[in-house]
């Protein structure tokens, strides 16, 4: 078993060893980097991200991997007369972006597989397009497919397909009736298989739904229709897909690293790690092959023994650390598997009007025990809760564990927190649970949530950043790659504007300022991960982790933020990406 969140990774690691490529820029190898020289940046907006409002300085000097000076240009030149001067030429310098939640390994998978994403990130507009794109990908990767044994696609979204439904086995049989085909839903919580794939998985009319998952059936029968939810997707693929060698894992990691650095991230997260993937990162770290910091959170259920063996670290070794533990309590709201307290507006096929989704772990005592374990051992815990019923379950578990083991500065995180209610925010504030929001949903699925899943009232409150800020709570923002691309600028634009694909503002009262949105990607994200002493602001002594943008997000029209480009990403004073 090689990966826990998206099982398609196993086959891709085997199938795509020769397919790795970079983005539009370059990613540098950091081994034996010479960071002894000083560099002086000037000539543009340098935003320190310190304080409650934007603070600008004329110059910043970095050397030996850290920030040596911030202040006036004249003083910088006087103190560091031999520093190499870099004229920003009107561009903007900020702290490097920090990934508050994502899956670095699977971002590599996203970069390598057949791209089925809908516009603006791909061409997956209808089922015919999915068939065409996947078939073309197969033709281009035939040798690799024969080796891996599967035809693979990632990122289709039934919410954006013309047919407004998932592709079925019958649809995917158009791609192949000899090789298994699997297309992973953009949420990462559902998949569609062709008939051969279902056979390989052992799914027949006599196969019961596994706990925490659903095998969707052809209407009026028990025959699987090809669409699989949650554990119905995960469980068989761990066994069906071949094991990945170390070279395969490292190839996928490199593709993920290239994606992250191109979007301005200097810290990445592996947000639901297996022991094997952690070991891959450690090997690469030992060889000096990680251009940015990687925070791994092993799955507390599947990799609990690994956590007990390795523990967690506050410090990095070769830019890698095990930063805490990950727990998942439900599924995806766009996939209609998130666990809600009130029914979905339009339930999925075969479900009744009272359908509210379902928990990932139905046994309450098991959830309580897992949270207790994290608190007992002092493991920072990040927990996936999309639905408010899952959030209720997590709040109950944290309250009990806090009473038993204390709750001083644990920085417990609720990942996504998409549908948290006002009363839940009050409880989270008391318990110190940090919401890490996924505001990109307002663009990608805002219309879908309004019309299909939640209805207007709940949809307008999805990722309630405004309500959180009113309580004086810090929050972070994330991309959850590969669910979305690891695009910091898209996160920023969505957090500020909350504009859907159709142009509707999804919850105008939940919008926040560009400065607050940047806080959630820099200072507050550093604080969430216990690295605020070395990251998140342009402060003397902190890492020289920087990003250069072509425009200042604080000075352009908020709707124009989406047009801003990352020009360069700098980790500890060394350029790790530059736009060509």
Q: What is the pLDDT of residues 199-240, one digit of tens each?
A: 988 999 999 999 889 999 999 999 999 999 988 988 766 654
CATH superfamily of 259-535: Metal-dependent hydrolases (3.20.20.140)
Number of neighbouring beta carbons within 10 Å of residue 211 = 15
Q: Helices 246-262 and 104-112, interaxial angle, to 10°? A: 90
Question: Kindly report the CA angle at 263 between 257 and 267, in degrees rounded to 5?
Answer: 55
CATH class as words, domain 8-22+104-240: alpha beta
Question: Kindly report the CA angle at 367 between 364 and 372, in degrees rounded to 5?
Answer: 125
Instruction: Flag whether pLDDT at 143 surpasses 90.
Output: no
Supply the DSSP symbol for 508.
Answer: G
Q: What is the pLDDT of residue 239?
A: 52
Average pLDDT over residues 338-350: 95
Domain range summary for the chain, segments of one domain joined by +: 8-22+104-240, 259-535
Distances (CA, A) of 64 to 34, 285, 329, 402, 544: 8, 19, 43, 41, 9
The answer to whether 358 touches 330, Cβ cutoff 8 Å, is yes
For 483, the 3-state DSSP assignment is: coil
Instruction: Flag whether pLDDT at 9 surpasses 70.
Output: no
Mean predicted lDDT score pLDDT of the chain? 91
Residue 413: closest CA among 445, 435, 429, 428 = 435
pTM of the model: 0.88
Q: What is the dihedral of CA 303, 309, 310, 313, to 10 degrees?
A: 100
Q: What is the pLDDT of residue 245?
A: 72
End-to-end, the C-alpha distance of the chain in Å comes to 38
């Amino acid at each position: 078993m090689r990966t826990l969140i998206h099982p398609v990774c196993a086959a891709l690691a085997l199938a795509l060893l020769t397919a790795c490529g970079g983005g539009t820029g370059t990613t540098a190898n950091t081994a034996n980097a010479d960071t002894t020289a000083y560099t002086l940046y000037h000539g543009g907006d340098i935003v320190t991200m310190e304080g409650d409002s934007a603070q600008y300085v004329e110059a910043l000097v970095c050397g030996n991997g850290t920030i040596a000076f911030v202040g006036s240009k004249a003083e910088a030149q006087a103190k560091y007369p031999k520093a190499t001067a870099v004229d920003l030429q009107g561009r903007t310098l900020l702290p490097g972006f920090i990934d508050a939640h994502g899956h670095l390994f699977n971002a590599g998978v996203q970069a390598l597989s057949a791209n089925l994403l809908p516009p603006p990130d791909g061409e997956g507009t209808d089922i015919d397009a999915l068939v065409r794109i996947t078939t073309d990908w197969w033709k281009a990767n035939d040798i690799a497919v024969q080796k891996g044994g599967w035809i693979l696609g990632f990122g289709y979204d039934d919410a954006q397909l013309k047919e407004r439904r998932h592709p079925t086995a019958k649809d995917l049989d158009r791609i192949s009736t000899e090789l298994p085909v699997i297309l992973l839903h953009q949420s990462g919580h559902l998949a569609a298989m062709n008939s051969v794939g279902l056979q390989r998985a052992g799914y027949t009319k006599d196969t019961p739904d596994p706990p925490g998952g659903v095998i969707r059936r052809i209407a009026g029968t028990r025959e699987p229709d090809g669409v699989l939810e949650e554990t119905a997707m995960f469980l068989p693929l761990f066994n069906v897909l071949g094991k990945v060698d170390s070279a395969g894992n490292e190839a996928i990691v490199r593709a993920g690293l290239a994606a992250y650095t191109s979007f301005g991230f200097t810290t990445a997260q592996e947000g639901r790690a297996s022991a094997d993937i952690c070991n891959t990162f450690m090997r690469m770290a030992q060889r000096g092959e990680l251009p940015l910091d990687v925070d791994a959170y092993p799955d507390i259920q599947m990799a609990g023994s690994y956590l007990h063996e390795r523990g967690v670290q506050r410090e990095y070794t070769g830019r890698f650390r095990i930063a805490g533990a990950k727990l998942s309590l439900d599924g995806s709201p766009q996939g209609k598997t998130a666990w809600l307290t009130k029914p979905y507006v339009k339930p999925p096929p075969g479900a009744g009007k009272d359908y509210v989704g379902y928990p990932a772990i139905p046994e309450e005592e098991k959830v309580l025990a897992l949270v207790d374990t994290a608190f007992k051992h002092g493991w920072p815990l990040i927990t996936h809760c999309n639905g408010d019923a899952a959030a209720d379950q997590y709040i109950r578990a944290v309250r009990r564990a806090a009473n038993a083991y204390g709750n001083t500065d644990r920085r417990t995180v609720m990942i996504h927190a998409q549908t948290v209610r006002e009363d839940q925010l009050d409880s989270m504030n008391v318990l110190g649970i940090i919401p890490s929001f996924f505001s990109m949903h307002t663009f990608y699925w805002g219309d879908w949530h309004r019309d299909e899943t939640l209805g207007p009232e709940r949809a307008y409150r999805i990722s309630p950043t405004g309500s959180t800020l009113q309580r004086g709570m810090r929050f972070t923002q994330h991309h959850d790659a590969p669910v979305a691309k690891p695009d910091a600028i898209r996160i920023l634009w969505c957090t500020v504007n909350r504009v859907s694909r159709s142009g509707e503002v999804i919850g105008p009262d939940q919008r926040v300022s560009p400065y607050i949105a940047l806080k959630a990607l820099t200072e507050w994200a550093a604080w969430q991960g216990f690295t605020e002493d070395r990251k998140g602001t342009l402060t003397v002594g902190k890492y020289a982790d920087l990003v250069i943008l072509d425009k200042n997000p604080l000075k352009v029209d908020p709707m124009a933020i989406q047009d801003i480009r990352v020009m360069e990403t700098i980790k500890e004073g060394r350029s790790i990406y530059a736009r060509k």
